[in-house]
Structure 1
Amino acid sequence: MAVLKVIEVLANSDKSWEDATRNAVKKASSSVKNIKSVYLNEQSVTIKNGEVDQFRVNVKITFEID
Protein backbone atom coordinates (compact mmCIF):
# COMPACT_ATOMS: atom_id res chain seq x y z
CA MET A 1 0.00 0.00 0.00
CA ALA A 2 1.37 3.40 -0.98
CA VAL A 3 1.30 6.37 1.37
CA LEU A 4 1.00 9.74 -0.34
CA LYS A 5 1.53 13.26 0.95
CA VAL A 6 0.34 16.57 -0.51
CA ILE A 7 2.14 19.90 -0.24
CA GLU A 8 1.01 23.28 -1.49
CA VAL A 9 3.45 25.34 -3.57
CA LEU A 10 3.21 28.85 -4.99
CA ALA A 11 5.21 29.74 -8.11
CA ASN A 12 5.35 32.38 -10.81
CA SER A 13 6.60 33.03 -14.34
CA ASP A 14 6.74 35.95 -16.72
CA LYS A 15 5.82 33.61 -19.62
CA SER A 16 2.71 31.56 -18.78
CA TRP A 17 0.78 29.58 -16.18
CA GLU A 18 2.22 26.40 -17.69
CA ASP A 19 5.73 27.71 -17.16
CA ALA A 20 4.86 28.72 -13.59
CA THR A 21 3.62 25.16 -12.98
CA ARG A 22 6.85 23.74 -14.40
CA ASN A 23 8.81 26.08 -12.10
CA ALA A 24 6.86 24.80 -9.08
CA VAL A 25 7.56 21.16 -9.97
CA LYS A 26 11.22 21.82 -10.75
CA LYS A 27 11.82 23.62 -7.47
CA ALA A 28 9.86 21.08 -5.40
CA SER A 29 11.66 18.14 -7.03
CA SER A 30 14.99 19.48 -5.76
CA SER A 31 13.98 18.42 -2.23
CA VAL A 32 10.93 16.16 -2.72
CA LYS A 33 11.28 12.77 -4.39
CA ASN A 34 8.65 10.46 -5.94
CA ILE A 35 6.34 13.25 -7.20
CA LYS A 36 3.29 11.55 -8.69
CA SER A 37 0.95 14.38 -9.71
CA VAL A 38 0.25 18.11 -9.59
CA TYR A 39 -3.19 19.66 -9.10
CA LEU A 40 -3.49 23.23 -10.33
CA ASN A 41 -5.48 24.82 -7.52
CA GLU A 42 -5.48 28.50 -8.44
CA GLN A 43 -4.24 30.89 -11.14
CA SER A 44 -3.70 34.64 -10.99
CA VAL A 45 -1.67 37.39 -12.62
CA THR A 46 -0.01 40.58 -11.51
CA ILE A 47 -0.31 43.73 -13.58
CA LYS A 48 2.38 46.34 -14.17
CA ASN A 49 1.80 49.49 -16.24
CA GLY A 50 -1.47 48.11 -17.59
CA GLU A 51 0.13 44.87 -18.83
CA VAL A 52 0.36 41.33 -17.47
CA ASP A 53 3.60 41.14 -15.51
CA GLN A 54 3.64 37.74 -13.77
CA PHE A 55 1.59 34.56 -14.06
CA ARG A 56 1.08 32.94 -10.65
CA VAL A 57 -0.07 29.45 -9.71
CA ASN A 58 -0.97 27.72 -6.49
CA VAL A 59 -0.45 23.98 -6.98
CA LYS A 60 -0.87 20.90 -4.83
CA ILE A 61 1.96 18.43 -5.38
CA THR A 62 1.36 14.79 -4.46
CA PHE A 63 4.30 12.50 -3.76
CA GLU A 64 4.81 8.99 -2.42
CA ILE A 65 6.48 8.51 0.93
CA ASP A 66 9.06 5.71 1.12
Structure 2
Amino acid sequence: MAVLKVIEILANSSKSWEDATDNAVQQASKSLKNIRSVYVNEQSATIKDGKVDEYRVNVKITFEVD
Protein backbone atom coordinates (compact mmCIF):
# COMPACT_ATOMS: atom_id res chain seq x y z
CA MET A 1 0.00 0.00 0.00
CA ALA A 2 1.36 3.42 -0.95
CA VAL A 3 1.10 6.50 1.22
CA LEU A 4 0.32 9.61 -0.81
CA LYS A 5 0.48 13.26 0.18
CA VAL A 6 -1.12 16.28 -1.50
CA ILE A 7 0.31 19.78 -1.48
CA GLU A 8 -1.09 22.96 -2.95
CA ILE A 9 1.06 25.21 -5.13
CA LEU A 10 0.48 28.55 -6.83
CA ALA A 11 2.32 29.15 -10.11
CA ASN A 12 2.29 31.64 -12.97
CA SER A 13 3.33 32.09 -16.58
CA SER A 14 3.24 34.81 -19.20
CA LYS A 15 2.37 32.20 -21.88
CA SER A 16 -0.58 30.03 -20.79
CA TRP A 17 -2.30 28.14 -17.99
CA GLU A 18 -0.68 24.95 -19.29
CA ASP A 19 2.74 26.54 -19.01
CA ALA A 20 1.94 27.74 -15.50
CA THR A 21 0.96 24.16 -14.58
CA ASP A 22 4.20 22.85 -16.08
CA ASN A 23 6.14 25.46 -14.08
CA ALA A 24 4.48 24.25 -10.87
CA VAL A 25 5.39 20.61 -11.58
CA GLN A 26 8.97 21.45 -12.59
CA GLN A 27 9.53 23.53 -9.47
CA ALA A 28 7.95 20.91 -7.18
CA SER A 29 10.03 18.13 -8.73
CA LYS A 30 13.20 19.88 -7.54
CA SER A 31 12.37 18.94 -3.95
CA LEU A 32 9.77 16.16 -4.26
CA LYS A 33 10.19 12.61 -5.50
CA ASN A 34 7.57 10.26 -6.89
CA ILE A 35 5.10 12.88 -8.13
CA ARG A 36 2.04 10.97 -9.28
CA SER A 37 -0.41 13.61 -10.52
CA VAL A 38 -1.33 17.27 -10.75
CA TYR A 39 -4.86 18.61 -10.37
CA VAL A 40 -5.61 22.12 -11.57
CA ASN A 41 -7.81 23.49 -8.83
CA GLU A 42 -8.23 27.06 -10.05
CA GLN A 43 -7.21 29.27 -12.96
CA SER A 44 -6.99 33.07 -13.03
CA ALA A 45 -5.24 35.79 -14.97
CA THR A 46 -4.10 39.36 -14.50
CA ILE A 47 -4.91 41.99 -17.09
CA LYS A 48 -2.71 44.87 -18.22
CA ASP A 49 -3.75 47.41 -20.86
CA GLY A 50 -6.76 45.32 -21.83
CA LYS A 51 -4.75 42.13 -22.45
CA VAL A 52 -3.87 39.07 -20.39
CA ASP A 53 -0.60 39.83 -18.66
CA GLU A 54 -0.08 36.72 -16.54
CA TYR A 55 -1.76 33.32 -16.26
CA ARG A 56 -2.05 31.88 -12.77
CA VAL A 57 -2.93 28.41 -11.52
CA ASN A 58 -3.60 26.92 -8.15
CA VAL A 59 -2.68 23.23 -8.39
CA LYS A 60 -2.68 20.22 -6.10
CA ILE A 61 0.28 17.90 -6.57
CA THR A 62 0.09 14.32 -5.33
CA PHE A 63 3.26 12.42 -4.53
CA GLU A 64 4.19 9.16 -2.88
CA VAL A 65 5.85 9.30 0.53
CA ASP A 66 8.83 6.96 1.00
State the TM-score, normalizing by the size of structure 1.
0.98
Matched, 1:11 2:11: yes
**Aligned AA (1:42):** E
Partner of 1:56: 56
Q: What is the total number of aligned residue pairs between the two structures?
A: 66
State the TM-score, normalizing by the size of structure 2.
0.98
User: Residue 57 of structure 1: SS of its match in structure 2?
Assistant: strand
Equivalent-residue separation in structure 1 for 2:33 and 2:9 (angstroms): 15
Matched, 1:28 2:28: yes
Partner of 2:42: 42
Q: CA RMSD in A?
A: 0.4
User: Residue 15 of structure 1: SS of its match in structure 2?
Assistant: coil
Deviations 1:4-48 (A, max 9, x none): 000000000000000000000000000011000000000000001
Which ranges of structure 1 fall in alignment gaps of 5 or more residues? none
* Runs of 4+ more than 6 Å apart: none
Identity %: 77
Equivalent-residue separation in structure 2 for 1:57 and 1:13 (angstroms): 9
